[in-house]
Amino acid sequence: MRFVESKYPLDFTADKCHETIYKYAVYYFTHVRPSFSLSGLSLASVPYFRMPCCLSFLPAFLWLLLGATANAKLSDSWMNKPTFRPVFTRRPFIIAWNAPTQDCPPRFNVHLDLKLFDLNASPNEGFVDQNLTIFYKERLGMYPYYDEHGAPVSGGLPQNASLRAHLDKLPDGIQKYIRSRDKDGLAVIDWEEWRPIWVRNWQNKNVYRNNSRNLVASRHPSWPREQVEKEALYDFENAAREFMMETLRHAKNYRPRQLWGFYLFPDCYNHDYNKNRDSYTGHCPDVEISRNDQLSWLWEESTALYPSIYLDQILASSENGRKFVRSRVREAMRISYRHHKDYSLPVFVYTRPTYIRKLDFLSQMDLISTIGESAAQGAAGVIFWGDAEYTKSKETCQMIKRYLEEDLGRYIVNVTTATELCSQSLCNGNGRCLRQDNITDAFLHLNSANFQIVSAPKDSQGPSLRAEGKLSAEDIAVLRSQFRCQCYVDWYGDSCGIQRRTNGGAVATGPCGIVLLVSLVALIFTLL
C-alpha cells in the first residue's frame, strides 16, 4: 500500500496510534472506496486537534473523506493548491497600467487619473526602477535573433550564440532597470522572435528552423535529410531551453523579490475564430496543451506567468471573445498549479484597453470578458499595455481620459472592490475567490442594489471613483454558492481560516472541534 507523503508531517510521537488510524483511513479510500480520489491530499492538510487517539482520528478521517469526495467531483484539482500572496497590497486582484501616457500632461495638458491602478509604469525607454519592468530583447543580455532584414544578431540562433556572453551582460540590464536588489515588482521578459518548441516556429519564425537545418548540414554535409532534421530540432530546443532557463535563474539571483516570467507564456493558440466563427469553442487544442506541458522546465523556473488575451476586432462584443479569453486564462491557471512546487504561480494577464490594431475601446461586454473573466478564474491581476498610438494627439489623450473616468474606471472599481469583499467574506482575507464551475458566467461584481460607484470628493488624495455600500447576507450567500477560496501560502481550509505551523501542525481558528466530530459521526454512518 502506498501512503500519501507530506512536506509537513504531523508529530505522532505523543501517540503512535494517530499514524495507524491515518493509514487505515488512506487504505479505506484506496481499496474500499476507490472511486474517491486522494489526489492532492496529504497529512499536511489534516487538522490536528491533539485529542486522545480514540477521538483525534475523526477529524483526520473527516478531512480525508470530504477532500476525497470533493476531488471525485472536481476536475480542477489545482484549486486546492495554495497560491502566492498578493504583491504590493493586500488586494487579491490588482490592475496595472503599462502604457506610455506620461506624455499627455506636458504635451497636451490632458491629465489622466491613474490612481485607479495599483501599478503605473511606462514601457518606454528611459523609465527605470518602476514596479513593473518589461525587458525587451535589446534590454537584457545578448538575446540571439534575426532582424527584419534576415541578419543575425548575437548569433541569430540560440545554438549559435554564446550563453556565457549573454549571462555576463545580463546584470547590466537588470541593474539599469531595477536598481535595488530588495525591490518588489513584476519583471516581464518579452522575447518574441522565436519560440522554444521547434514546431511552434512557423511563418516568419520559420527562419529559425531553416537556419538550424542549414547549420547542421554545413557541419555534416553527408547526413541524410531526416538526420539533419532530427539534429537541428534537438540543437535548437536544447539551446533555447538553456537560454531561457539560465536567464531566469540568474535574474532571480540578482533580483530575488521580483516576480519573473516571460510575456506570452503560456500561450493557447486558439485563434481559429476566423475559420470557424459559428462553431468556435475557444478551447486550446489538445496538442498545444501537451506542448505547454513539455515546457515544465520553464514553469518551474518562473515566479509568475504573463499570458496575453488581446482581443481582435472580429471578437468585439461577442460570445466568441469570451470563449477566447476564458480558455487562455484557464490554461494559464492550469499551468500555474501543475508545474510549480509548493504553491501555484501568480498569473498576471496582459490585455489592452483597445482592440488589436485599433483605437476603439473595449465595450462593456468585453471589459467583463477580459478583466471580469480573469478575476473570476483567480488570476492575481490584469496588466493594461498600450503603445505610443495612445498619446499621438490631444484627441487620443482626451479619449483615454474619458474612458478612464467612465466605463473602464467604473468597471475597475467594481471588480477590485468585489474581489476584495469576497476574499474578506469567504476566505477571511487569506485567499482569493474563484469560480466553483468554470463553464458558468459567474463574475465577481457588486450588487447594484446595495452598491454605488461614485465620484470621490475633489480634495481626496485617492482615486476619483470609489464604491459605496455594504454586502448583504444575501450577497454573501450568492458569492458562496458560485465561488470558492484558493488560499494563500500558509493558510488552508474551506475559508482559509487555518494557519500552518512551521513544525507541520496547524492552528485551528474555525468552529469547535466537537461540532466537527458530531457531523463526522453522522456522515460516516451514512456512507458506511
Compute the Cα dihedral for 176, 177, 183, 189 and give only its sign: negative
List the catalytic residue out of 19, 125, 148, 192: 192
Dist. CA 145–CA 147, nearest whole Å: 6
The radius of gyration computed from the CA coordinates of the chain, to the nearest angstrom, equals: 26
- Cβ atoms of 519 and 62 within 8 Å: the answer is yes
Dist. CA 262–CA 285, nearest whole Å: 21
Residues 6+ apart with CB under 8 A from 1: 23, 26, 27, 30, 31
Dist. CA 365–CA 377, nearest whole Å: 17
499 alpha-carbon distance from chain centroid: 23
Dist. CA 217–CA 224, nearest whole Å: 9
Dist. CA 42–CA 342, nearest whole Å: 13
Dist. CA 444–CA 317, nearest whole Å: 19
| Residue 389 annotated as catalytic | no
Amino acid code (one letter) for 478: V
3-state DSSP assignment of residue 75: coil
Dist. CA 352–CA 386, nearest whole Å: 6
Dist. CA 153–CA 170, nearest whole Å: 16
Please choose, from the candidates 362, 396, 413, 403, the residue with its C-alpha nearest in 3D space to the C-alpha of residue 101.
396
Residues 6+ apart with CB under 8 A from 406: none
Q: Active-site positions?
A: 192
